[in-house]
Amino acid sequence: MTKWGMVIDLEKCTGCQACTTACAMENSRLPGESWQDVLFYHEGTYPNVKLSWLPRPCMQCENPSCVAVCPTKATYKTEDGVVLVDWDKCIGCKYCMIACPYGVRFYMDEKPVVQPDLREVFPGDGDRIWNPPYKMPDHLEDRKKGIGIQPKGVVSKCTFCYHKISKAPKGVADLDEDDPQTREYVPACVRVCPPKARYFGDLDNPNSRVNQLIADKRGVRLKEETGNKPQVYYLAGGGAPVIPGERSRGRG
C-alpha cells in the first residue's frame, strides 16, 4: 500500500516562500494562514546573528494525535497515509489544534492576520468563508476531504494536495515535477520549489527517491519524542539540529 511522504532538503532550501505562495493559490488560503509556511529563526545578537529557516507543511503523521483526539472522527487518515478533515463532521471544537505538536491546523474565522480583511473584500457565498479570485475549479472541491475553500466554523490543514496525488498512477514510486508522466500529480509546494529542495514519493516503496534520500542523507523527523511519527523528513546535513530551541535562542 502506498504511504505518501515528503523529504525537504534544508541544505538546498533558500527560504524563498515559493512553496507558501503556491500552497495559498492552490488551496485558497488567506494571507498569513497558509497551510505550508516557512518559519524563520534567529540566534544570537548583532553582529553575531545566525538566521535559519524551516519549511513546515503538515507532517501527515503516521500516528497522528489530531486524529486520536477528534471526538467526531472528522479528522481521519486515508489508506495512503494522508491526514484529512471531513468538514461536514467537524464541530469546530479545536481540540485537534490543541493536540497538534506542529501548529499546522487553522481555524479561518479568527481575526484577520493582515489588513484589509480579504473575507470582507471577497465575501463568500453559501457557507464558504470567502470567495478568492484565485480559487481552484469547483469540481475539485471535496468537503469530505477538506479540499477547497474552507467553510465557516471548521478546522483545516494541508492535504498534501490530495486532489492531485490521489489521481496519480497506482504503484508509482515518486511524484516528480521533472517527470512528464507524474508532473500533474505533484503537490503544489513540491512542484514550484526553485532549488528542488522538496521530494515527494512512496515511503513504503524501497526504491523510491524519498527513501533513498532518507537513508543516504540521514533524514530526520521533528519532535520524535511525541511518538507522532511524521511522514515529512528533513535533510539537515546530519550535524546541526533542524530547528534551534527557545533556550538556545535566549528566549526561554
Partner 1 sequence: MATATTLRAAFKPSPYLIGSAVLFVLAFVYAIYLEVTLGHVAFNTTNYGVFWGFPIVAYDYFLLTSTGLALVASLPLAVGIRSWDPVAKRCVWLAIAALVGGVAILFLELPHPLRALWATPINLQTASPLFWKILCVGAYTIVLALLAYAFGAGRGPAEVPRILAVVLGLLALAITLIAGSVYGMLVFRPFWFGSELPVVFLIESFMGGIAFFIFFTYAVHGFVADNLSENTRRLLAGPLGIAAATAVFLHLLFVLTRTVTGLWSYGEGMEVWRYTIAQPLYWLALIGGGLVPLVVFALPSLRAQPWLQMIGAFLVALGLLASRYEFMINGQLVPPFKGSWAPPLLEYAPSQLEWVLLFVGIFLANTIYAALESWSSTRER
130 pairs with which residues across the strands? 123
Rule CB under 8 A: which of 102-131 touch partner 1? 102-104, 106-107, 109-113
The C-alpha cell at 69 is 483526539
- The correct pick among 21, 25, 95, 217 for binding partner 1 (CB under 8 A) is 95
Shorter beta-carbon distance to partner 1: residue 66 or 190: 66
With CB under 8 A as the contact rule, the residue among 18, 97, 136, 220 that binds partner 1 is 97
Closer by beta carbon to partner 1, 91 or else 215: 91
Binding residue (CB under 8 A) for partner 1 from 11, 12, 31, 94: 94
246 in contact with partner 1 (CB under 8 A): yes
Tell me, what DSSP letter sits at residue 14? -
Segment near partner 1 (CB under 8 A), from 1-9, 151-159, 209-217, 231-239?
A: 151-159
Query: Nearest 10 degrees: CA dihedral of 206, 209, 211, 215?
Result: 120
What is the rounded distance in angstroms from the CA atom of residue 31 to the CA atom of residue 115? 9
140's grid cell: 475539485
DSSP 43-61: ES-TTS-EEEEEEE-----
Query: Which of the residues 200 through 239 are near partner 1 (CB under 8 A)?
Result: 223, 225-227
Question: Rounded distance, CA 177 to CA 185, Å?
Answer: 8
Chosen residue from 56, 143, 145, 221 binding partner 1 by CB under 8 A:
56
Q: Is the separation of the CB atoms in 219 and 7 below 8 Å?
A: yes
**Is 161 a residue that touches partner 1 (CB under 8 A)?**
no
Cβ proximity of 240 and 11 under 8 Å: no
Q: Pick the piece of the chain touching partner 1 (CB under 8 A) from 33-41, 77-85, 130-138, 206-214.
A: 33-41
Binder of partner 1 out of 12, 50, 98, 144 (CB under 8 A): 98
Instruction: Indicate whether 139 belongs to the interface with partner 1 (CB under 8 A).
Output: no
